[in-house]
Structure 1
Amino acid sequence: MSQLIYRKLRGPAYIILIVIVLRLIYYLLSSGDTVQVVPDKTSLTQKQPIFTRKQPVFTKKQLKHRLKNTQFLPQEHLASSTPNKELPVTSAANHNDTGLYKPVWSSLDSRPLPQWFDRAKFGIFIHWGVYSVPSFYNEWFWWYWKGPEPKSSIKEFMKKNYPTVTGYTEFETNFTASKFKPGDWAELFHESGAKYVVFTTKHHEGFANWPSKVGGHRNSQQRGPHRNLVAALSSAVRNKDLAFGVYYSLYEWFSTEYNADKSNHFESNNFVKNKVTPQLHELIESYKPDILFSDGDFGPTSYWNTTNFLAWLYNDSPVKNRIVTNDRWGTDVQNLHGDYFSPFHEPVETPQHKWEMCVTLDKESWGYRRDMKDDDVLTTQEVLEGLIRAVSKGGNYMLNVGPTAEGTIPTIFKQRLASIGKWLKINGEGIYETQPWKAQNESNNVWYTMKKRNIYAFVLRQPEQNSLLLSLPKPLEGAKIVLLETNTTLKWTDHSEASYGRVVLLPKEIGVPFALRLENFN
């Protein structure tokens, strides 16, 4: 009898057991267990440094998504990948509902840098706002006029030039942009060799350069220019096949709400809820920028709601596949989190994370100054040296110009940009789409980059006796050295002391900085 019962129950028991096992397997596969993405053998044997975050850890769900989308390959693989056409910017209707990135830094940091930004190398920054009207001291004019420690020089300036003006917002009427020709700007930036343009949409003064639906009437549509400056410039820039980015200041000097939150030790965030977050969404959804440069992050990330916003930006925004953003999202995250870092000073050594050096042509101000002198402006040589050093260290270089209140770019700025563009047309192959070589430089005069199998040596100053000693690159069979300026092959010999390197014979007349392409060297 017991055997009969056993035989009758054995079939259903096996079925139940199989169901339990299958459900257990399904549970394990769909849970948050992680898979470590390891570089392939080619990446592991590369000698040049790769600039990325720590090796990301992805869930199986995330890994499957990345394998489908080559733009999301980990940066360790980017060097060995064949360049493809850039993926199109995703439309607002095509949202990513997978929740790939969670609102925590460990997840947000696993997002690889979109390839286009690292390849671009050189961009233009524009500081343009109401501060262009007084155009004195710098773009912090309001703060040093009405802030807690006003400067006597600004008080004297106001007394002499604007004796009847008592409030900063009165300057908004004279921020006319009456001579602003976005097409001319875009052409100038394109000819400079820049690959992207970042525009100040709102600085710490709180004036918006687009018709924002929040913040009252203090915007360029209702005051001053009576024009949507962001829309006009973004359209013109993109017509020149340049990427377009927006700078946005999180905080505002004299915002009542912000200062109330600050007095409350940032335990309330009414300013963020009522203005910052809505305006960021306006910019992303209306203008679909390629870059979001955050600034004015005085307060912790918890106050700015940073991680929740970035999770939306990376998962569901219309620019989720292409946008890059920096690290100024709170006083506790600078140089720690973000697609790229934007340090205030040039790093000495090559960082292990993508970064960008921001420099202003007017050494005294980011905004336009009426009393700027020629000696206050960076020379073309200074700019090119900074660009070369940044790229050699794996960074990008963004150069700032400050237009007048009427919308003209000073002539000396135009001259600098034209000179930079002329140089890049000759030497750009050693700048764009390159990577750092295994050594960033030898002495302070020779800096290296690499692309594919070629090494590029940039020489900042004219060597003595028309010869150049290169001690680090080692020649292989068929080695050749080409001067990019003339596209001619140069003669070279081993130094009498072989360990010293190679001596390259240079033409008598050669412009600096100049670039050499080293073929079949390692």
Structure 2
Amino acid sequence: MKRVVIAFMAIIVMSQVAISQQLLKEQRMDWWREARFGMFIHWGVYAIPAGIWDGRQIGGIGEWIMNRGKIPVNDYQAMARQFNPVKYDPDAWVRMAKDAGMKYIIITSKHHDGFALFESEASKWNVADHTIYGKDLLKPLAEACKKHGIKLGFYYSQAQDWVNPGGTAIRRLTKEGWANPDSVIIDAYTKEHNGHWDWRQETKTFEQYIDEVSVPQVRELLTNYGDIAVLWWDTPSGMTDEAATKLQALLALQPQIITNDRLKRPNFPGDHKTPEQRIPNLADLDGTDWETCMTMNGTWGYKSYDLNYKSPQTLIRNLIDIASKGGNFLLNVGPTAEGEFPQQSIDILAEMGKWMKVNGEAIYGTKAGPWGLFSLGRCTRKDTRNGTSLYFSVFEWPSDGKISVPGLKNGVISARLLADGKRLRTTRSKDGVLTISLPEITPDPKATVIRVDVRGKVADKIPQ
């Protein structure tokens, strides 16, 4: 009997711990769910070649040039010494993010080439010790974020590292970079050496790399830069539970920090999922927090010749689509080696900022719309003191000047355009379809938002 009581008490304690942990997570995630929109920054010495090595355009994304171009470690490090971002203005970067309506910034503190944008005692392969610039790049960014009220997070490549010995390397065939005549030899070598193409990459074990580089550098990041909102792991290639446990233990240095799902799958799920370059379908969503990360053009790190930028309209509608499904949007900028945002990115951010200044309430702090997808656009919702605010973002302006909303049983308080505050007429049919009468011409072709305030809480799911 005594054993039964002890077992019963243990179950109660475990349940209470689980509830407590869930409550703590809800508190940690509160600002993130309110924010909905953030900036990703991929920056490093790969911005110097900007997609070109030895006179050749190297295929794939810019920050992978070392791997896809099979650049020897010594050559890559020699190139990196000239990194000198004299036009770097972190205050301007943060102001551009804020003016665009973004609430947080995630920057690549160390990408897969192992180069750290911060001064590190764990490896001299960093901006302060290895370049003519000679200064930590993250400290002034942290100061600017604090000044402007923007949350700061660090991306960190915890396993894959192509310069610090012992780091892993995801194997890429030589043809993915360029038509190297020695591709057969090189590909045979990388197959035998777990993706590595230079013997210098294998002079230490993965365990040594974790203990000597990854763990101490993450400790530095969580100790030397004030409050850090997010730690964004990437590519858990070769990760072990033991290595992941060591890294996860460091999170105690920043108890409020949020992490993603890329430390080691599936045993270390983090706080949110990270669909990359895509927006999930409704069927993909399982109630877990998620964040779509996406490029403005075709690359994360700067490539001088990638000018295939998405339009502001496309990116605004992506943001709306993501919010309508309950997710966050992390939109990338790849600065130049001099430390400037490309002009195309600046222009896109400015256009998105104009839209957000008018319509931001349809994004910030909203929940997924109850109807799923509308053919004319998307819907988000927000609980209020007196009921619910529904935000209908219209992409395709109806030719008949009307929008029909099925199944809404709540009484309508008001309907108006966010663009100019104009009140809109609403009627309800006998079968419960709400009709909103619109102006003849859309105020904003990118997306016009209609706010409909209703009494009471709206159901989570309403069939169309």
In structure 2, what is the equivalent of residue 120 of structure 1? 35
One-letter amino acid matched to 2:425: K
Is the CA contact 2:63–2:301 (under 8 Å) kept in the aligned structure 1?
yes
In structure 2, what is the equivalent of residue 152 of structure 1? none
For residues 9 and 213 of structure 2, the distance between their equivalents in structure 1, rounded to whole angstroms, comes to 38
Q: How does 1:135-154 map to 2 (within 5 A)?
A: 135-136=50-51, 137=58, 138-146=62-70
In structure 2, what is the equivalent of residue 80 of structure 1? none
The correspondence for 2:103, drawn from 182, 185, 195, is 195
For structure 1, the 5+ residue unaligned runs are 1-20, 36-57, 76-111, 149-164
Would you say 1:354 and 2:305 are equivalent positions? no
For residues 295 and 321 of structure 2, the distance between their equivalents in structure 1, rounded to whole angstroms, comes to 16
Q: How does 1:268-417 map to 2 (within 5 A)?
A: 269-287=207-225, 288-302=227-241, 305-313=243-251, 316-317=252-253, 319-320=254-255, 322-333=256-267, 337-344=269-276, 345-349=278-282, 350-362=285-297, 364-373=298-307, 376-417=308-349
SS in 1 for 2:222: helix
Q: Deviations over 1:322-350 (max 9, x none)?
A: 210000012545xx711111122321014
In structure 1, what is the equivalent of residue 46 of structure 2? 131
SS in 2 for 1:413: helix
Residue 253 (structure 1) shift: 2.8
For residues 384 and 472 of structure 1, the distance between their equivalents in structure 2, rounded to whole angstroms, comes to 28
SS in 2 for 1:258: coil
Is the CA contact 1:368–1:403 (under 8 Å) kept in the aligned structure 2?
yes
Is the CA contact 2:320–2:378 (under 8 Å) kept in the aligned structure 1?
no
For residues 343 and 168 of structure 2, the distance between their equivalents in structure 1, rounded to whole angstroms, comes to 40
One-letter amino acid matched to 1:143: N
Residue 448 (structure 1) shift: 2.9
Indicate how the Cα distance of structure 1 residues 276 and 482 shifts in structure 2: closer, same or farther if over 3 A, else same: same
Residue 215 (structure 1) shift: 1.7
Q: How does 1:363-512 map to 2 (within 5 A)?
A: 364-373=298-307, 376-443=308-375, 445-452=377-384, 453-476=388-411, 478-494=412-428, 498=431, 500-511=433-444, 512=446
Q: Deviations over 1:261-287 (max 9, x none)?
A: 9699x9962211111111111101112
For residues 319 and 406 of structure 2, the distance between their equivalents in structure 1, rounded to whole angstroms, comes to 23
One-letter amino acid matched to 2:435: R
Indicate how the Cα distance of structure 1 residues 461 and 171 shifts in structure 2: closer, same or farther if over 3 A, else same: farther
Indicate how the Cα distance of structure 1 residues 355 and 301 shifts in structure 2: closer, same or farther if over 3 A, else same: farther
Q: Deviations over 1:224-266 (max 9, x none)?
A: 42111011111111210000000011211354313599699x9
Is the CA contact 1:403–1:410 (under 8 Å) kept in the aligned structure 2?
yes
Is the CA contact 1:193–1:420 (under 8 Å) kept in the aligned structure 2?
yes
For residues 375 and 441 of structure 2, the distance between their equivalents in structure 1, rounded to whole angstroms, comes to 22
User: Could you tell which deviates more after superposition, 202-211 or 346-355?
Assistant: 346-355
User: Could you tell which deviates more after superposition, 400-409 or 343-352?
Assistant: 343-352
TM-score by length of 1: 0.71
Residue 509 (structure 1) shift: 4.0
For residues 113 and 398 of structure 1, the distance between their equivalents in structure 2, rounded to whole angstroms, comes to 18
Indicate how the Cα distance of structure 1 residues 281 and 446 shifts in structure 2: closer, same or farther if over 3 A, else same: same
Is the CA contact 1:211–1:228 (under 8 Å) kept in the aligned structure 2?
yes
In structure 2, what is the equivalent of residue 513 of structure 1? 447
In structure 2, what is the equivalent of residue 107 of structure 1? none
One-letter amino acid matched to 1:276: S
Would you say 1:185 and 2:123 are equivalent positions? no
Structure number with larger C-alpha Rg: 1
The correspondence for 1:225, drawn from 133, 151, 165, is 133
How many residue pairs get matched?
407
Residue 473 (structure 1) shift: 3.1
In structure 2, what is the equivalent of residue 5 of structure 1? none
Indicate how the Cα distance of structure 1 residues 34 and 113 shifts in structure 2: closer, same or farther if over 3 A, else same: farther
SS in 1 for 2:167: helix
Would you say 1:33 and 2:11 are equivalent positions? yes
For structure 2, the 5+ residue unaligned runs are 52-57, 170-192, 196-201, 459-464
Is the CA contact 1:441–1:448 (under 8 Å) kept in the aligned structure 2?
no
Residue 517 (structure 1) shift: 1.2
